[in-house]
Amino acid sequence: MEILHTAASLQAHAESCRRAGQRIALVPTMGALHEGHLQLVRAAAAACDVVIVSIFVNPTQFNNAEDFRLYPRLPEADTALLIPAGCTALFLPSVEEMYPQPALLRFDFGALERVMEGAHRPGHFNGVATIVSKLFHLSRPHQAYFGQKDWQQVSIIRQLVADLSFDIELVSFPTVREPDGLAMSSRNRRLSAEARAVAPRLYQALELAAGLVQAGQVPPAAVQEAATTYIQAEPLFRLEYFEVVDAHTLQPITEWQPSQQVALCLAAFLGDVRLIDNVVLPARN
């Protein structure tokens, strides 16, 4: 596995691979890798000749300076995990390498980013789109792999690919969960033992809501209220949002429509750790 630290070295490596006729996959991450990330790397290795994994804690997508400071950084442990998973090149740039000067360009994804994460973290998706665009330009992948735990992010990046005509196939994989249902996340490392014990309640709330949606006997507002009540019954949680949305437009659903695919999305604080999760349901008949 090659380890690259500069934009120029990544660009040169990718161009060399393309000239050799190899298919390139990109797996962008912020490190502190877990099985969710490794699932993406293994899938990329099965489909492509070259698997580039980037590890970069991107400052422009953080609204909270303390969250950025505390985000886990484990490059040595991550490197050891990536080799057997099939990574062929690891890109480990510095902030100065990715942002030699402040970016002036601003992305606006309209209604897609005015809800949920975008509403609670202004500028977050501008930072995501900026760094993902940079990585796409530098590595020129045939495929890019993302996890569905960040459902809104996947929707934003899909729009980015379409609007800027990136010749890239976007591949998303289902959320990987702990045995008790908690969605795997790098931030889980920061949970106290007490918080970790109650954290699965988030997925239980999603399952509760999913059952109500599939039964089809209550309106969306009642689904939202039931899940919200369930989460808030545990005082350690500070719920930021629980939304019942159209899985494609991400807009809140006020009444059920035939053939509509529903996504249930949430964000909540456990202590000072912010967790997100979602469940995407099959289209309703």
Query: What CATH number should be reported for the domain holding residue 163?
Result: 3.40.50.620
Residue finishing a domain among 173, 197, 225: 173
184 among annotated binding-site residues: yes
Structural domain count, the chain: 2
34 among annotated binding-site residues: yes
Confidence of residue 264 (pLDDT cuts 50, 70, 90): very high
The whole domain housing 260 covers 186-280
Radius of gyration of the CA atoms of the chain, in A: 19
Q: Are residues 190 and 275 in the same domain?
A: yes
- Is the residue at 91 inside a domain? yes
Q: Are residues 130 and 6 in the same domain?
A: yes
Residue finishing a domain among 173, 202, 219: 173
Tokens 């509760």 sit on residue = 208
- Is the residue at 7 inside a domain? yes
- Indicate if the pLDDT at residue 285 is higher than 70: no
Q: Are residues 142 and 62 in the same domain?
A: yes
- Is the residue at 285 inside a domain? no
Residue finishing a domain among 147, 173, 199: 173
Distance of CA 34 to the CA centre of its chain: 13
- Residue 124 is predicted with a pLDDT of 96
- Is the residue at 181 inside a domain? no
Q: Are residues 132 and 196 in the same domain?
A: no
Q: Are residues 149 and 258 in the same domain?
A: no
Q: Are residues 161 and 201 in the same domain?
A: no
SS3 107: coil
Q: Are residues 42 and 64 in the same domain?
A: yes
137 among annotated binding-site residues: no
- Residue 229 is predicted with a pLDDT of 98
159 among annotated binding-site residues: no
Span 120-144, pLDDT tens digits? 999 999 999 999 999 999 999 999 9
Q: Are residues 164 and 203 in the same domain?
A: no
Q: Are residues 143 and 32 in the same domain?
A: yes
CA distance 179 to 181: 6
Q: Are residues 128 and 241 in the same domain?
A: no
Residues 20, 50: contact at Cβ < 8 Å?
A: no
Region 26-35: mean pLDDT is 97
- Residue 63 is predicted with a pLDDT of 87
User: Beta strands 262-270 and 273-280: pairing type?
Assistant: antiparallel
Burial letters 24-63, b for 16+ CB under 10 A, else e: bbbbbbbbbbbebbbbbbbbbbeebebbbbbbbbbebbbe
- Is the residue at 180 inside a domain? no
SS3 264: strand
Span 153-191, pLDDT tens digits? 999 999 999 999 999 999 999 999 999 999 999 999 999
DSSP 81-92: HHHHHT--EEE-
Q: Are residues 65 and 205 in the same domain?
A: no
CA distance 121 to 169: 27
Q: Are residues 143 and 46 in the same domain?
A: yes
For residue 135 the two structure tokens come to 């990585």
* Percent of the chain residues topping a pLDDT of 70: 100
- Is the residue at 219 inside a domain? yes
- Is the residue at 127 inside a domain? yes
For residue 19, give every residue at least 6 positions away whose Cβ sits within 8 Å of its Cβ, in sequence order, or none.
none
**Catalytic site positions:** 37
The CATH number of residue 190's host domain is 3.30.1300.10
33 among annotated binding-site residues: yes
150 among annotated binding-site residues: yes
- Residue 100 is predicted with a pLDDT of 97
In sign, the C-alpha dihedral spanning 67, 120, 275, 174 is: negative
- Is the residue at 179 inside a domain? no
